[in-house]
Structure 1
Amino acid sequence: METRILIAADDEKSLAGLSNLLADLQYATAIAASLDDAAQAATRFAPDVLIVGLSLAPDDDFGALAQRLRAACGARSPMLIALGGWGESQHRDAALAAGFDVHLVRPVGLDQLTFILSMVA
Protein backbone atom coordinates (compact mmCIF):
# COMPACT_ATOMS: atom_id res chain seq x y z
CA MET A 1 0.00 0.00 0.00
CA GLU A 2 1.52 3.31 -1.01
CA THR A 3 1.76 6.28 1.32
CA ARG A 4 -0.50 9.18 0.32
CA ILE A 5 0.86 12.66 0.98
CA LEU A 6 -1.04 15.94 0.73
CA ILE A 7 1.18 19.01 0.39
CA ALA A 8 -0.44 22.34 1.18
CA ALA A 9 1.40 25.64 0.78
CA ASP A 10 0.86 29.03 -0.79
CA ASP A 11 4.14 28.94 -2.73
CA GLU A 12 3.64 27.29 -6.14
CA LYS A 13 7.34 26.51 -6.61
CA SER A 14 7.51 24.78 -3.22
CA LEU A 15 4.37 22.81 -4.02
CA ALA A 16 5.61 21.66 -7.39
CA GLY A 17 9.13 20.88 -6.23
CA LEU A 18 8.11 18.89 -3.18
CA SER A 19 5.36 17.09 -5.06
CA ASN A 20 7.73 16.09 -7.86
CA LEU A 21 10.38 14.94 -5.39
CA LEU A 22 7.91 12.79 -3.46
CA ALA A 23 6.40 11.37 -6.66
CA ASP A 24 9.92 10.40 -7.79
CA LEU A 25 10.26 8.57 -4.47
CA GLN A 26 7.08 6.61 -5.32
CA TYR A 27 4.68 8.41 -2.97
CA ALA A 28 1.17 9.29 -4.12
CA THR A 29 0.83 13.06 -3.84
CA ALA A 30 -1.81 15.73 -4.04
CA ILE A 31 -1.32 19.48 -3.68
CA ALA A 32 -3.37 22.39 -2.37
CA ALA A 33 -2.57 26.11 -2.56
CA SER A 34 -4.92 27.32 0.19
CA LEU A 35 -6.36 26.17 3.48
CA ASP A 36 -9.81 25.69 1.93
CA ASP A 37 -8.32 23.59 -0.89
CA ALA A 38 -6.29 21.59 1.64
CA ALA A 39 -9.35 20.82 3.76
CA GLN A 40 -11.28 19.66 0.69
CA ALA A 41 -8.34 17.59 -0.57
CA ALA A 42 -7.87 16.01 2.87
CA THR A 43 -11.46 14.79 2.71
CA ARG A 44 -11.20 13.43 -0.85
CA PHE A 45 -7.59 12.20 -0.98
CA ALA A 46 -7.47 10.50 2.47
CA PRO A 47 -3.78 11.28 3.05
CA ASP A 48 -1.51 9.37 5.40
CA VAL A 49 0.62 12.51 5.75
CA LEU A 50 -0.13 16.22 5.41
CA ILE A 51 2.81 18.56 4.85
CA VAL A 52 1.48 22.03 5.53
CA GLY A 53 3.06 25.43 5.08
CA LEU A 54 2.51 27.41 8.26
CA SER A 55 1.85 30.49 6.14
CA LEU A 56 -1.63 29.00 5.49
CA ALA A 57 -2.56 29.56 9.15
CA PRO A 58 -5.35 32.13 9.48
CA ASP A 59 -4.02 35.09 11.50
CA ASP A 60 -0.90 33.00 12.28
CA ASP A 61 -3.06 30.70 14.42
CA PHE A 62 -1.29 27.36 14.00
CA GLY A 63 -3.86 25.68 16.24
CA ALA A 64 -6.73 26.69 13.96
CA LEU A 65 -4.77 25.39 10.97
CA ALA A 66 -4.07 22.01 12.56
CA GLN A 67 -7.61 21.71 13.92
CA ARG A 68 -9.22 22.46 10.56
CA LEU A 69 -7.10 19.90 8.74
CA ARG A 70 -7.57 17.21 11.39
CA ALA A 71 -11.34 17.81 11.29
CA ALA A 72 -11.30 17.40 7.49
CA CYS A 73 -9.61 14.02 7.93
CA GLY A 74 -12.42 12.73 10.12
CA ALA A 75 -11.60 9.53 11.99
CA ARG A 76 -8.30 9.11 10.15
CA SER A 77 -5.27 10.41 11.99
CA PRO A 78 -2.60 11.28 9.44
CA MET A 79 0.83 12.55 10.39
CA LEU A 80 0.66 16.35 10.32
CA ILE A 81 3.94 18.02 9.38
CA ALA A 82 4.40 21.78 9.75
CA LEU A 83 6.65 23.39 7.17
CA GLY A 84 7.97 26.78 8.15
CA GLY A 85 10.65 29.27 7.36
CA TRP A 86 11.77 29.75 10.96
CA GLY A 87 13.91 27.30 12.90
CA GLU A 88 14.01 28.81 16.36
CA SER A 89 12.79 26.62 19.21
CA GLN A 90 9.76 28.84 19.91
CA HIS A 91 8.46 28.27 16.36
CA ARG A 92 8.90 24.52 16.65
CA ASP A 93 7.30 24.52 20.11
CA ALA A 94 4.34 26.58 18.86
CA ALA A 95 3.72 24.21 15.95
CA LEU A 96 3.92 21.12 18.15
CA ALA A 97 1.68 22.69 20.82
CA ALA A 98 -0.83 23.52 18.07
CA GLY A 99 -1.22 19.85 17.16
CA PHE A 100 1.40 19.21 14.51
CA ASP A 101 3.39 15.99 14.87
CA VAL A 102 6.60 17.33 13.32
CA HIS A 103 8.02 20.78 12.53
CA LEU A 104 10.39 21.13 9.57
CA VAL A 105 12.24 24.19 8.34
CA ARG A 106 12.64 25.02 4.65
CA PRO A 107 14.56 23.88 2.79
CA VAL A 108 13.93 20.36 3.99
CA GLY A 109 16.74 17.88 3.47
CA LEU A 110 15.93 14.72 1.55
CA ASP A 111 17.41 12.46 4.25
CA GLN A 112 15.40 14.20 6.96
CA LEU A 113 12.17 13.97 4.97
CA THR A 114 12.57 10.31 4.01
CA PHE A 115 13.41 9.41 7.61
CA ILE A 116 10.24 11.08 8.89
CA LEU A 117 8.10 9.53 6.16
CA SER A 118 9.53 6.09 6.95
CA MET A 119 7.71 6.32 10.29
CA VAL A 120 4.35 6.32 8.53
CA ALA A 121 4.60 2.93 6.83
Structure 2
Amino acid sequence: MTDTMKTGWTDTSRASTPAVTGAEISHSPNLGTTKAEAMRHKCVLIVDRDREALDGLTYLLESMGYGVIATADTREALEIAERGLPDAVLIDIGSPHLEGLSVAHGLREIAGNRPLLLIALTGWGQPQYREMALSAGFDVHWVKPVSADQINFLLSMTFV
Protein backbone atom coordinates (compact mmCIF):
# COMPACT_ATOMS: atom_id res chain seq x y z
CA MET A 1 0.00 0.00 0.00
CA THR A 2 1.35 3.41 -0.91
CA ASP A 3 1.10 6.61 1.07
CA THR A 4 -2.10 8.60 0.74
CA MET A 5 -1.71 11.79 -1.26
CA LYS A 6 -3.89 14.70 -2.28
CA THR A 7 -5.03 14.20 -5.85
CA GLY A 8 -7.75 14.39 -8.47
CA TRP A 9 -8.97 11.56 -10.64
CA THR A 10 -8.92 11.19 -14.41
CA ASP A 11 -11.36 8.98 -16.26
CA THR A 12 -9.20 7.95 -19.19
CA SER A 13 -6.51 5.97 -17.39
CA ARG A 14 -7.83 5.83 -13.84
CA ALA A 15 -4.46 7.21 -12.78
CA SER A 16 -4.04 9.97 -10.27
CA THR A 17 -3.10 13.48 -11.31
CA PRO A 18 -2.14 16.25 -8.91
CA ALA A 19 -4.94 18.68 -8.11
CA VAL A 20 -5.94 20.89 -5.24
CA THR A 21 -8.83 19.07 -3.61
CA GLY A 22 -9.77 17.66 -0.23
CA ALA A 23 -10.13 14.18 -1.69
CA GLU A 24 -7.52 11.57 -1.00
CA ILE A 25 -6.65 8.55 -3.10
CA SER A 26 -4.75 5.64 -1.71
CA HIS A 27 -2.85 4.69 -4.84
CA SER A 28 -2.93 4.68 -8.62
CA PRO A 29 -4.34 1.36 -9.76
CA ASN A 30 -1.93 -0.50 -12.06
CA LEU A 31 -2.58 -3.30 -14.51
CA GLY A 32 -2.07 -6.74 -13.00
CA THR A 33 -2.89 -10.34 -13.76
CA THR A 34 -3.82 -11.88 -10.42
CA LYS A 35 -7.26 -11.53 -8.85
CA ALA A 36 -5.78 -9.41 -6.07
CA GLU A 37 -4.13 -7.15 -8.63
CA ALA A 38 -7.33 -6.98 -10.68
CA MET A 39 -9.21 -5.76 -7.60
CA ARG A 40 -6.76 -2.85 -7.40
CA HIS A 41 -8.26 -1.57 -10.64
CA LYS A 42 -11.55 -1.05 -8.87
CA CYS A 43 -12.03 2.36 -7.35
CA VAL A 44 -14.33 2.95 -4.41
CA LEU A 45 -15.33 6.49 -3.47
CA ILE A 46 -16.16 6.97 0.21
CA VAL A 47 -18.16 10.00 1.35
CA ASP A 48 -18.50 10.52 5.10
CA ARG A 49 -18.31 13.67 7.22
CA ASP A 50 -17.00 11.70 10.20
CA ARG A 51 -13.22 11.69 9.74
CA GLU A 52 -12.69 8.59 11.90
CA ALA A 53 -15.26 6.63 9.90
CA LEU A 54 -13.74 7.89 6.65
CA ASP A 55 -10.24 6.86 7.71
CA GLY A 56 -11.43 3.48 8.99
CA LEU A 57 -13.30 2.61 5.80
CA THR A 58 -10.37 3.79 3.70
CA TYR A 59 -7.97 1.57 5.61
CA LEU A 60 -10.36 -1.40 5.43
CA LEU A 61 -10.92 -1.14 1.67
CA GLU A 62 -7.24 -0.57 0.96
CA SER A 63 -6.41 -3.70 2.95
CA MET A 64 -8.88 -5.60 0.74
CA GLY A 65 -7.00 -4.40 -2.34
CA TYR A 66 -9.27 -1.64 -3.65
CA GLY A 67 -8.27 1.81 -4.81
CA VAL A 68 -9.93 4.36 -2.55
CA ILE A 69 -10.85 8.00 -2.90
CA ALA A 70 -12.14 9.52 0.33
CA THR A 71 -13.87 12.85 0.89
CA ALA A 72 -15.99 14.45 3.58
CA ASP A 73 -17.61 16.86 1.11
CA THR A 74 -20.69 15.80 -0.87
CA ARG A 75 -20.16 18.46 -3.55
CA GLU A 76 -16.60 17.28 -4.02
CA ALA A 77 -17.87 13.70 -4.42
CA LEU A 78 -19.86 14.83 -7.47
CA GLU A 79 -16.85 16.69 -8.87
CA ILE A 80 -14.72 13.57 -8.45
CA ALA A 81 -17.31 11.46 -10.27
CA GLU A 82 -17.48 13.96 -13.12
CA ARG A 83 -13.70 13.71 -13.60
CA GLY A 84 -13.72 9.91 -13.46
CA LEU A 85 -16.57 7.67 -12.41
CA PRO A 86 -15.65 5.30 -9.57
CA ASP A 87 -16.83 1.70 -9.64
CA ALA A 88 -18.65 1.97 -6.31
CA VAL A 89 -19.58 4.69 -3.85
CA LEU A 90 -20.20 4.32 -0.13
CA ILE A 91 -22.05 7.38 1.20
CA ASP A 92 -23.04 8.18 4.76
CA ILE A 93 -26.57 9.49 4.32
CA GLY A 94 -26.97 10.29 8.01
CA SER A 95 -25.97 13.93 7.72
CA PRO A 96 -28.39 16.47 9.19
CA HIS A 97 -29.79 17.42 5.77
CA LEU A 98 -29.69 13.96 4.16
CA GLU A 99 -27.28 15.33 1.57
CA GLY A 100 -26.32 11.80 0.60
CA LEU A 101 -29.71 11.30 -1.01
CA SER A 102 -29.22 14.20 -3.41
CA VAL A 103 -25.68 13.01 -4.13
CA ALA A 104 -27.12 9.65 -5.23
CA HIS A 105 -29.32 11.42 -7.78
CA GLY A 106 -26.34 13.40 -9.06
CA LEU A 107 -24.12 10.31 -9.29
CA ARG A 108 -26.79 8.43 -11.25
CA GLU A 109 -27.00 11.35 -13.69
CA ILE A 110 -23.23 11.42 -14.09
CA ALA A 111 -23.07 7.64 -14.57
CA GLY A 112 -25.75 7.58 -17.24
CA ASN A 113 -25.79 4.01 -18.59
CA ARG A 114 -22.43 3.09 -17.03
CA PRO A 115 -22.50 0.68 -14.08
CA LEU A 116 -22.16 2.24 -10.63
CA LEU A 117 -22.78 0.55 -7.29
CA LEU A 118 -24.21 3.00 -4.75
CA ILE A 119 -24.18 1.94 -1.11
CA ALA A 120 -25.92 4.03 1.56
CA LEU A 121 -24.40 3.85 5.03
CA THR A 122 -26.43 5.19 7.91
CA GLY A 123 -27.26 4.88 11.55
CA TRP A 124 -30.94 5.03 10.61
CA GLY A 125 -32.48 1.61 10.11
CA GLN A 126 -36.15 2.54 10.06
CA PRO A 127 -38.06 1.39 6.97
CA GLN A 128 -38.76 4.94 5.77
CA TYR A 129 -35.03 5.70 5.54
CA ARG A 130 -34.40 2.50 3.62
CA GLU A 131 -37.17 3.40 1.17
CA MET A 132 -35.83 6.95 0.84
CA ALA A 133 -32.34 5.63 0.05
CA LEU A 134 -33.54 3.12 -2.53
CA SER A 135 -35.83 5.72 -4.13
CA ALA A 136 -32.91 8.14 -4.35
CA GLY A 137 -30.97 5.63 -6.46
CA PHE A 138 -28.97 3.62 -3.96
CA ASP A 139 -28.57 -0.08 -4.67
CA VAL A 140 -27.97 -1.04 -1.04
CA HIS A 141 -29.00 0.48 2.31
CA TRP A 142 -26.78 -0.61 5.20
CA VAL A 143 -27.16 0.33 8.82
CA LYS A 144 -23.91 1.01 10.66
CA PRO A 145 -21.89 -0.71 11.87
CA VAL A 146 -21.24 -2.76 8.74
CA SER A 147 -18.90 -5.72 8.96
CA ALA A 148 -15.81 -6.12 6.82
CA ASP A 149 -17.27 -9.43 5.59
CA GLN A 150 -20.42 -7.67 4.32
CA ILE A 151 -18.42 -5.06 2.43
CA ASN A 152 -15.97 -7.58 1.04
CA PHE A 153 -18.74 -9.92 -0.09
CA LEU A 154 -20.72 -7.24 -1.90
CA LEU A 155 -17.73 -5.65 -3.59
CA SER A 156 -16.16 -8.96 -4.58
CA MET A 157 -19.43 -10.17 -6.10
CA THR A 158 -19.96 -6.87 -7.88
CA PHE A 159 -16.46 -6.58 -9.29
CA VAL A 160 -16.17 -10.13 -10.64
Quick check: which has more Rg, 1 or 2? 2
Residue 59 of structure 2 corresponds to residue 20 of structure 1: yes
Structure 2 spans left out of the alignment, 5+ residues: 1-37
Residue 82 of structure 2 corresponds to residue 43 of structure 1: yes
Alpha carbons of structure 1 residues 76 and 9: separation in structure 2 relative to 1, 3 Å: same
Given residue 7 of structure 1, which amino acid in structure 2 is its aligned partner?
Answer: I
Compute the displacement of 1:19 (Å): 0.5
Corresponding residue for 1:107?
Answer: 145
> TM-score, length-normalised on structure 2?
0.67
The percent identity for this pair of structures is 38
Is the 1:70–1:77 Cα contact (8 Å) retained in structure 2?
no
Find the residue that maps to 1:15 and give its secondary structure: helix
> TM-score, length-normalised on structure 1?
0.87
Corresponding residue for 1:66?
Answer: 104
Compute the displacement of 1:45 (Å): 3.9
Greater length-normalized contact order (CA 8 Å, ≥ 6 residues apart): 1
Compute the displacement of 1:88 (Å): 2.1
Given residue 116 of structure 2, which amino acid in structure 1 is its aligned partner?
Answer: P
Compute the displacement of 1:61 (Å): 6.1
Structure 1 spans left out of the alignment, 5+ residues: none
Given residue 6 of structure 1, which amino acid in structure 2 is its aligned partner?
Answer: L
More helix by proportion, 1 or 2? 1
Cα RMSD over matched residues?
Answer: 1.9
1 CA distance for matches of 2:134 and 2:147?
20
Compute the displacement of 1:15 (Å): 0.7
- 1:91 pairs with one of 118, 129, 132: 129
Deviates more, 1:20-29 or 1:108-117: 108-117
Is the 1:85–1:106 Cα contact (8 Å) retained in structure 2?
yes
